[in-house]
Amino acid sequence: MDIRSKDIRYAAGTKIAAVVLVWICFVSAVWSLGFLFLNQEVDKSNSYYDSYRFKDEFSRLIHNTVEANIKLKSIENINASGGTVGDKARNIERYHNIKSRMSNTVNYLYYINNSSTGEAITNVAASQPKELIKKQPVNASISRWNWESKVDIYTYGGEIEEMLRGTEYEVYAAIQEPLKPGDVFYDDFKAYSRTKEIIAFAYPVMFVSLILLIIVAAYLSCVTGRRERGGEIVLSGVDNIYTDVHTLLVLIAAALSLTIAVSSSEPNDILTWVIPLLVLGVDGLIGISYVLSMIRQAKAGRIFKNTLIYNLAKLCFDKNSFKPSIILFLLGYGLINGILFDIGVDLNQGDQEPVFTILLIVFNTAAVYFTARALTSLSKIMNAAKEISSGNLDYELNSSEISVAFSGMATNIANIQGGLKKAVEEAIKGERMKTDLITNVSHDLKTPLTSIISYVDLLKNEELNNERAEEYVNILEEKGARMKQLVEDLVEASKASSGNLPVNAEKVDLHELVLQACGEYEEKITEAELDLRINAEEKNIFVYADGKQMWRIIENLLLNAIKYSMPQSRMYINLTSDSNYGSFTVKNISALPLDIPPEQLTERFVRGDVSRTTEGSGLGLSIAQSLTALQGGKFKIEIDGDLFKVSVDIPLWAE
């Protein structure tokens, strides 16, 4: 039961219902309050005749009656009276106005009697007008001697009294009861009665609404932002608006609604009520959403942190994004500029020396100069970063040329550079250590190998008289030679791949090189029953390379081809060049099927035949590749069925 009630209290449906209820209560409370406030005069008066509207209207009519019948009398009388033409015209117009107004009244009764002449004027048709008037509950009888009225007619009292002074007239006026429809009194009376009825209804509505509002609002402020009792504060989308901005927006909305409400206060119009009610409704929603949002944020303790001002200040004074000094500089710059500009403009109007204008120009020129210097520093730093990223780790950023604003950045870049340099140096050191290790090991292997080779040779020269022993010696000799080759290739491969070989690059003719190399291996090629074809597009292809290393590359390729080519097949060497590279390609047909990917062939110790029984160290292609790379060239192996193709591109010699 407890759990269920908890669920209901924190359920979204309940909250929405509560919001709607609060909204309705708010709207009705404000509406009823406003209504009571606007109609407080009606509320306070006991009856229609007690209301200000009635008193005003009634006393004006008495005034009109007195003015028209006693002061102006008739148009002839006005014309006969002395006075300017203007006065007469005004009086005539006034006379007509009064007459027309009087004729529009139904419920107003009057009777005027001159006690000296017996003259009597009335709008009452009955035979006894004076008595009829006196019988009405609201009546007044006025003369220079007598002032008697059931209601307060002081609005125009002074003027009436003025007009009656020195005359013998007695004025009787009344509003007939009950009121008949057809004039302003009847309409006003109806409106008054309706307002009275609504007031009687508005009070309870107001009280109930207020009480409900307080209760439900208290409930909402407790549960808003929570999914369960004591749970985490869950913020909604509205809460992402900065609180100060939100407040400002709500205030603007309130001001706007007030303006609308005030501007549309045309009485007795349907829109008079509809528009403010609509505005009120919308305001109510905005207000509730705002208040609840504030409550949620207060609960989450971020009402202050979520202000735009706080965030701006944080941004400005957070050391990681901006230095406070820069903000102060900017503010100071604006301030000084403003002051100088103001003073300059003021003084120029007075035709004085434009000292401040010059100061303004000087100040701004200085500002532009320092900014430009700072930007130059930035571009220097960017340039340094570019150099470093392209691998120039020795690029020096002159920190004395960097402005204060970017000195931290420059230091950081220098640190990154240092770190990188250290890493690269360590990598190089590691690689060198590896090469050194291999070299040292190979030295240690070479000494015993010397003995082995020497003694095998000595043994070979001995008379063994034993066929098997001779065969064994031959095997030993062959393996000794192989081991020698292996050790030498191992050192070379490790040096080539670690870039630990000096490159003495010069102008080398690829064509010459290929002919020389083929000359060296002529016999071996013939021995292997291969038909070598050299195709050259041009006679000389000059490349920028180390001739000795080029020889090692081509030698390895030739040896490879001789070793693995199918006997009685053709082997091609093509020489070509393009705009950047001179290339030679060695093509041969493999004796054995090649079922390994080309890239694996250049891995150390990988050979086309997995059994590793034939001569060779398996390092030839790897060495050739490393040496090519060392000279800025490109090494590519292609295998197409049994066609084995290696191409080596070397940068062309540039004069």
Partner 1 sequence: MDKLNVLVCDDDKAIVDALEIYLKQENYGVVRAYNGKQALKALSEQQIHLILLDVMMPELDGLSATIKIREEQNIPIIILSAKSEDTDKIAGLNFGADDYVTKPFSPLELMARVKSQMRRYTTLGSMPQKSSVLKTGSLELDEEAKELRVDGEIIRLTATEYGIMLFLMENMGHVFSIDQIYEKVWNEPLYSAENTVAVHIRRIREKIEINPREPKYLKVVWGIGYKIERY
327-336: Cβ within 8 A, 24+ apart: 333/367, 336/363
Is the distance from CB of 635 to CB of 648 less than 8 angstroms?
yes
Whichever of 168 and 512 has its CB closer to partner 1, that residue is: 512
Please report, as a single letter, which amino acid is at residue 404: V
Asked whether the beta carbons of 253 and 283 are under 8 A apart, the reply is yes
Judged by beta carbon, residue 250 or residue 543, the one nearer partner 1 is 543
For position 452 contacting partner 1 by CB under 8 A, the verdict is: yes
The answer to whether 516 contacts partner 1 (rule: CB under 8 A) is: yes
Q: How big is the chain by its Cα radius of gyration, in Å?
A: 57
The verdict on 484 binding partner 1 (CB under 8 A) reads yes
Q: Which stretch binds partner 1 (CB under 8 A): 286-294, 361-369, 386-394, 500-508?
A: 500-508
Choose, by CB under 8 A, the member of 109, 410, 486, 545 that binds partner 1. 545
Quick one: which of 336, 378, 449, 559 contacts partner 1 (CB under 8 A)? 449
Q: Give yes or no for residue 455 binding partner 1 (CB under 8 A).
A: yes
The span of 17-25, 189-197, 200-208, 484-492 binding partner 1 (CB under 8 A) equals 484-492
Residue 264's region, left for phi above 0, alpha for psi from -120 to 50, else beta, is alpha
CB 534 to partner 1: min, Å: 4
Of 120, 108, 124, 130, the residue nearest 61 (C-alpha): 108
Residue 447 sits in the site that holds partner 1 (CB under 8 A): yes
Residues touching partner 1: how many (CB under 8 A)? 45
Residue in 535, 568, 580, 614 binding partner 1, rule: CB under 8 A: 535
Q: Which of residues 50-89 bind partner 1 (CB under 8 A)?
A: none
Between CA 528 and CA 615 the distance in angstroms is 14
Query: Smaller CB distance to partner 1: residue 249 or 518?
Result: 518
Work out whether 457 is an interface residue with partner 1 (CB under 8 A).
Answer: yes
Stretch 358-397 residues interacting with partner 1 (CB under 8 A): none
**Under the phi-then-psi rule, with left for phi > 0, alpha for psi from -120 to 50, and beta for the rest, what region is 562?**
alpha
Selection from 550, 534, 552, 568 nearest residue 491 by Cα:
552
- Reported as half-sphere exposure (CB side, CA atoms, 13 A), residue 645 has a value of 10
Site membership for partner 1, residue 304 (CB under 8 A): no
Confirm or reject binding of residue 530 to partner 1 (CB under 8 A).
no
Contacting range for partner 1; rule: CB under 8 A; set: 83-91, 325-333, 452-460, 607-615:
452-460
State yes or no: residue 446 binds partner 1 (CB under 8 A): yes
User: Distance (Å, rounded) from C-alpha 617 to C-alpha 603?
Assistant: 12
User: Two tokens at 160?
Assistant: 């009436």
What is the nearest approach in angstroms of partner 1 to the Cβ of residue 580?
Answer: 18
* Beta partners for residue 113, in sequence order: 120, 170
Is residue 490 close enough to count as binding partner 1 by CB under 8 A? no
Q: H-type helices in 226-354, by residue range?
A: 243-263, 270-300, 308-317, 324-349
Q: Which residue lies nearer to partner 1 by CB, 228 or 444? A: 444
3-state secondary structure at position 196: helix
The one segment of 38-46, 109-117, 228-236, 440-448 that binds partner 1 by CB under 8 A: 440-448
Q: Is 563 in the site for partner 1 (CB under 8 A)?
A: no
Q: How far apart are the first and last CA of the chain?
A: 97
CA–CA separation, 193 vs 177, rounded Å? 15
Q: How far is CA 601 from CA 199, 224, 594, 620, 639, in A?
A: 103, 71, 10, 10, 10
Binder of partner 1 out of 534, 562, 596, 629 (CB under 8 A):
534
2-10 vs 12-38: helix crossing angle, rounded to 10: 60
Q: Which of 151, 184, 385, 536 binds partner 1 (CB under 8 A)?
A: 536
Q: Decide: is 421 part of the binding site for partner 1 (CB under 8 A).
A: no
CB 510 to partner 1: min, Å: 7
**What residues make contact with partner 1 under the rule CB under 8 A?**
442-444, 446-455, 457-458, 480, 484, 488, 491, 506-520, 522, 534-536, 539, 543, 545, 547-548, 550-551
